[in-house]
Amino acid sequence: MVSGVSAARSRGTDLGKCARVHDIIASESRLSSELARQLRDIGFIVIPGPIIPGGIEKLSAAYDREVANADPKDVHTGRTRINTRIDDFVNRGPEFDLIYIHPPLLAACSQIIGGPFKLSGMRARTLSPGAPIERLHVDVCHHGDGWPLVGCILMVDAFNEENGATRFVPGTHLQHEEPSEVMSDPHGDHALEVQACGPAGSMIIFNASVWHGHGANRSAKPRRSIQAHFVRRDATPSSDDHTGRMRPETLRRIGDMAKYVLSV
């Protein structure tokens, strides 16, 4: 399993070593041919997430604990306060350590990015009850600055049509236009959109150039998730970059592959 690869004892300064570790990930972390095809042609997949010790119940409790105790500097609610984002879920506890090294996720990163990569950032996101539909958008333009980019969403709660499951327009990662350039109203429904639904513990992996946005949360409960993005090894990380704030207990706890993916 890739998490046991000792060759990943790299700080990211030796490009040759990074390339060798990437080769190991590419050879040992594989998607099935059908999932690889969907990711290539459709732009996203929904798969079972990592098996968390203690199960989804422990993950759910840890999520609520860390959100409640988060430093206010890490909490972002936006102007509308329809969702809450909490930065730096790399350092929040062992319940979250397996998310960013889930082998199918690493395989997807290898497929889309095509070379050495790293985690750009990982955060919690809670969609409030009553939140309206989000406009269709891309996280990075096709062949634009920061491309390619891989996104993943771990469902702490089940995603369904009632609570705002993420909607995707299949195949749009293969075109250069953004939704705002061709749609009169990116908040509206798209004829080809599909919702990525699944039980708690499922993981969405997507090419971040595919058109997407969360649906309306018409339920009476918040919809919780953990989101992450991966970039080329030499790319600029996100604003909530973890590398300068790694906690000693996190570094003692995680293994070589995690340190490689985190670029620490």
Tens digits of per-residue pLDDT, 85-113? Answer: 999 999 999 999 999 999 999 999 999 99
pLDDT at 25: 75
Give me the chain's average pLDDT, please.
90
Instruction: Please check the confidence at residue 10 and state whether its pLDDT lies above 60.
Output: no
Average pLDDT over every residue of 132-149: 87
Q: Is 76 helix (H, G, I), strand (E, B) or coil?
A: strand
The edge-to-edge listing of strands for the beta sheet with 150-155 is: 44-48, 202-207, 150-155, 223-232, 117-127, 83-86, 75-76
Q: How far apart are CA 207 and CA 222, in angstroms?
A: 26
Average pLDDT over residues 66-91: 91
Q: What is the pLDDT of residues 157-201, one digit of tens each?
A: 999 999 999 999 999 999 888 999 998 899 988 999 999 999 999
Is the pLDDT at 259 greater than 60, yes or no?
Answer: yes
| Chain position carrying tokens 């009169």 | 184
**What fold is seen in the domain 10-262?**
Jelly Rolls (2.60.120)
Task: Please determine, for residue 213, whether its predicted confidence score (pLDDT) is greater than 60.
Answer: yes
Burial class (CB in 10 A: 0-12, 13-18, 19+), 225: buried
Provide the pLDDT for residue 159.
98
Rounded to whole angstroms, the Cα distance separating 71 from 57 reads: 24
Q: Which of the two residues, 124 and 13, has the higher pLDDT score?
A: 124
Strand arrangement, sheet containing 211-214: 194-195, 166-169, 211-214
Length in residues, the chain: 264
HSE-CB for 263 with a 13 A CA cutoff: 24
Instruction: Indicate if the pLDDT at residue 235 is higher than 60.
Output: yes
Q: Cβ(149)–Cβ(140) under 8 Å?
A: yes
166 close to 196: Cβ distance less than 8 angstroms: yes
Banded model confidence at residue 4, pLDDT cuts 50, 70, 90: very low
Which residues, in sequence order, are bridge partners of residue 158? none
Cα–Cα distance measured from residue 239 to residue 246, given in angstroms and rounded to the nearest whole number: 15
pLDDT confidence bin for 13, thresholds 50/70/90: very low
Q: Does residue 80 have a pLDDT over 60?
A: yes
Question: What is the rounded CA–CA span in Å between residue 44 and residue 206?
Answer: 4
Q: How far is CA 95 from the centre of its chain?
A: 16
Q: How do strand 202-207 and strand 150-155 relate by DSSP bridges? A: antiparallel
